Amino acid sequence: MKNVALFVGLDYHQNSVQVCAMDPSGRVLSNRKCPNHWRAIARAAREGGHVAAAIEAATGAADLADELTRQAGWQVSLAHPGYVRRMKQNPDKTDFSDARMLADLVRVGYLPRVWLAPEEVRELRRLVRYRDQLARERRAVKLRVRALLREQRVVAPPGLGRWSRAWLAWLEGAPLSAQGRWVASRHLAHLGWLKESLRAVERRLAALTAQDPVVERLAALRGVGPVTAWWLRAEVGDFSRFRSGKQLARFCGLSPRNASSGERQADAGLVRAGNPQLRACLIQAAHSLIRFDARWQALAAGMGARGKPRSLVTAAVANRWMRWLHHQMAA
């Protein structure tokens, strides 16, 4: 960064941003709070040339970083908040010191960077996560209906598939109390709204990704449905930004975590990393691969024969599949 005239650290908040401007020698030129708007931040930094800035990844930080890049012409990097916190050698936390540390880290080249997704990927991510919220709410409402039936000791006739049309028709006339009937009707009305909302967001997702070559390549793979393709495109974005399939699998939270000490050698489940909803989606995809793809069936059968638990086998298939997928998509 020899041509950089100013290094800026931004401690982000919803309504304000602490802006620390530092010259190449490490001298602090200013460190003050300003409104959360790119124009106010640019004025507060007193820029006089090429600017390299850093901001911790947080809700809204990516949009601000993108605005500063496009509107002010800055070079803005997102920093990993967990690694920045570990690098700080002071137990105190203030906006003043946090902004200064970010400016100093970007100045010396030690900033732990994370990927700044382009706007189209962030927009897709909003839709995908909204769909996931609707799906989780639908699951919660169904559990409430089942809890209501258990509470009033109402059992469906044998042979009716739960949530099928026949089961729902039976539920309409199930022997519930007056208040139980009213609560059940409200739950069913909510389920109807959730069903229509899911259809609407899925239509919007399909239209948004209709011309996306990455989604098209993903959807063409065995075991990958539209929801899995949307999740991977929204969360992974560009597969080539990962150096290896192993790195991609770890980003998705599918790598085993080592818990060895001295003579004790053990694993402690999966790493605590990545988006848990993305990991759950990939685990579901692994179940489909084990059922319908001979290659992954063989891997699962071999691990099962060695006495591995089914949950471990499924996670291992998801891990290996993601490593294989990296070679397919990053080529």
Last residue of a domain, one of 71, 88, 114: 114
297 within a domain of the structure (yes/no)? yes
Of the candidates 103, 111, 94, the one whose C-alpha atom is nearest the C-alpha of residue 45 is 103
Tokens 């706007």 belong to which residue? Answer: 119
> What pLDDT sits at residue 193?
97
Q: Read off the pLDDT of each residue in 40-67 and give the average, rounded to a whole number.
A: 87
Q: What is the pLDDT of residues 290-315, one digit of tens each?
A: 999 999 999 999 999 999 899 999 99
Confidence band for 1, pLDDT divided at 50, 70 and 90: low
Q: What is the average per-residue pLDDT within 149-168?
A: 92
For residue 60, pLDDT over 90 is answered with no
Q: 105 in a domain, yes or no? A: yes
What single letter denotes the amino acid at residue 167? W
180 phi-psi bin (left φ>0, alpha ψ -120 to 50, beta other): alpha
Q: Distance between CA atoms of 163 and 232, rounded to whole angstroms?
A: 29
**Whether residue 226 sits in one domain with residue 197:** no
Distance of CA 85 to the CA centre of its chain: 21
pLDDT confidence band for 44 (50 / 70 / 90): confident
Give yes or no: residues 48 and 18 share one domain.
yes
Distance CA 252, CA 242 (A): 12
Instruction: Give yes or no for residue 48 having a pLDDT over 70.
Output: no
Q: Could you write out the DSSP letters of every residue in 217-279?
A: HHHTSTT--HHHHHHHHHHT--GGGSSSHHHHHHHTT-SEEE--BTTB--EEEE-S-S-HHHH
Q: How many CA atoms lie within 13 A of 214 on its CB side?
A: 22
Q: Residue 1 domain-assigned? A: no
Which pLDDT tens digit goes with each residue over 225-270?
Answer: 999 999 999 999 999 999 999 999 999 998 887 766 666 666 767 8
Domain match, 222 and 311 both: yes
Over 60: is that where the pLDDT of 95 sits?
A: yes
- The mean pLDDT of 98-127, rounded to a whole number, is 93
| Of 238, 227, 10, 39, nearest in space to 122 by CA | 238
Would you tell me how many other CB atoms lie within 10 Å of the CB of residue 5? 13
287 and 182 in one domain?
A: no
Are 54 and 136 members of one domain?
Answer: no
pLDDT at 330: 81
Q: How far apart are CA 320 and CA 283, in angstroms?
A: 12
Looking at the structure, tell me whether residues 190 and 244 fall in a common domain: no
The rounded Cα 295 to chain-centroid distance in angstroms is: 28
**Last residue in a domain, options 53, 80, 114:** 114
Bigger pLDDT: 1 vs 90 = 90
Same domain assignment for residues 146 and 249 = no
The percent of residues above 90 in pLDDT, for the chain, comes to: 74
Mean pLDDT, residues 167-183: 93
CB < 8 Å & 24+ apart, contacts of 126-129: 127/201, 127/204, 127/205, 127/208, 127/230, 127/234, 128/205, 128/230, 128/231, 128/234, 128/235, 129/234, 129/277
Q: What is the predicted pLDDT for the residue at 321?
A: 95
Percent of the chain's residues with pLDDT above 70: 95
Q: Are residues 162 and 127 in the same domain?
A: yes
Whole-number mean pLDDT of the chain? 91
Are residues 192 and 271 both part of a single domain?
no
- Domain shared by 228 and 256, yes or no: yes
- Check pLDDT > 60 for residue 2: no
Q: How many domains does the chain have?
A: 3
Segment 136-157, tens digit of pLDDT: 999 999 999 999 999 999 999 9
Considering the domain architecture, whether residues 196 and 260 belong to the same structural domain is answered as no
Indicate if the pLDDT at residue 91 is higher than 90.
Answer: no
Boundary residue ending a domain (208, 242, 276): 208
- pLDDT range class, residue 59, cuts 50, 70, 90: confident
Residue 79: CATH number of its domain: 3.30.420.140
pLDDT over 70 (residue 188): yes
Q: At 274, is the pLDDT very low, low, confident or very high (cuts 50, 70, 90)?
A: confident
**Residue 157 covered by a domain:** yes
Domain hosting residue 251, numbered range:
214-329
- In this structure, are 109 and 137 located in the same domain? no
